[in-house]
Amino acid sequence: MNSLDQLKQFTTVVADTGDFNSMRAYAPRDATTNPSLILKAVQQDAYKPLFSETVAAHKGKSTSDIVDQILIRFGLEILKIVPGRVSTEVDARLSFDTKATITKARELIALYEQAGIERKRILIKIASTWEGIQAATALEKDGIHCNLTLLFAPVQAAACAEGGITLISPFVGRILDWYKKRDGKDFSPEDDPGVQSVRYIYSYFKNYGYKTEVMGASFRSVAQVLALAGCDLLTISPDLLNQLQSMNDSVERKLQPVTTTQDTLIKLPTDESSFRFSLNDDAMASEKLAEGIRLFAADSRKLDALVNAA
């Protein structure tokens, strides 16, 4: 078996792309999107007709409503390809508004259900701010499953687990980027701060028996991916999926689930004041979270502009 097929023995592989045409070659179970990926996709010739048709079909609606229809249209096309779930992201500009995030998530789920898609096949993607985690906790109680993204710190992960959230996406590559810039050096896969962060979170969840799934995201190399073989899920870009599919290197499982709960890891406090202080005290996590929200919000504004110009 090639390295990708070997990885699939230990880990659920997810396609990290808005380009559903490229998904077919890699047979992922799930797919994730974000504003940047959708923006990139709608500017490609292959997807311009889909974009134009969707905008034309909803002329007269607000820009926000039309963008939602575009997100859903991409999600529906992706669900024709993957047998599992698609993650659809709430506008990053709502990252600090719990009530608005809940409202938007319910609107997105309603659009999918109107199209005949069961909510178990949808993950609503929300930034891992305190407000976002509270929104997701409420949504999960209504049977709306969530994927908490832009996750860089253990306290974010712990709060998600306490909230009964379905899935989290720790950002491996962006963590590495921060430490490479700070320290001015490269890291081996075993010393990679992003890899170490996901390994810690995975062990923490298994140790305490949390059901929240861990999905490593934002990879910079195949080496990072393989260093997390055995993680519940890994969302991987088409470029890296292609590399894995072209390789025949032996893949070794690196993460093993713990079947018994033992207090071998200190439990993190997840009340609001502890959460905010811990996140603020982690320069990497607070900087990368803020940067991620800014970048996604900027791409959402660019998508709005494309809709308004169409």
Q: Residue type at 139?
A: L
- Cα separation, 266 vs 270, whole angstroms: 12
Q: How many other CB atoms sit within 10 Å of the CB of residue 170? A: 31
- DSSP string covering 224-284, please? HHHHTTTSSEEEE-HHHHHHHHH-------------S----SPPPP-SHHHHHHHHHH-HH
- DSSP string covering 283-297, please? HHHHHHHHHHHHHHH
Among residues 111, 152, 139, the alpha carbon closest in space to that of 285 is found at: 152
Residue 158 makes CB contacts below 8 A (sequence gap 6+) with 204, 267, 268, 270
Is residue 125 part of the annotated active site? The answer reads yes
Identify the active-site residue in 8, 125, 206, 254.
125
- Cα separation, 79 vs 62, whole angstroms: 26
Measured at the CA of 16, the angle between CA 14 and CA 19, to 5 degrees, comes to: 115
CA distances from 226 to 12, 75, 76, 104, 240 (A): 13, 28, 30, 36, 11
Among residues 143, 179, 147, 137, the alpha carbon closest in space to that of 285 is found at: 179
The DSSP element (H or E) to which 275 belongs, if any, is helix 272-281
8 Å CB contact between 51 and 72: no
Place of tokens 């039309």: 66
Q: Residue 167 has which token pair? A: 């899935």
Q: Residue 64 has which token pair? A: 């926000």
Catalytic residues: 125
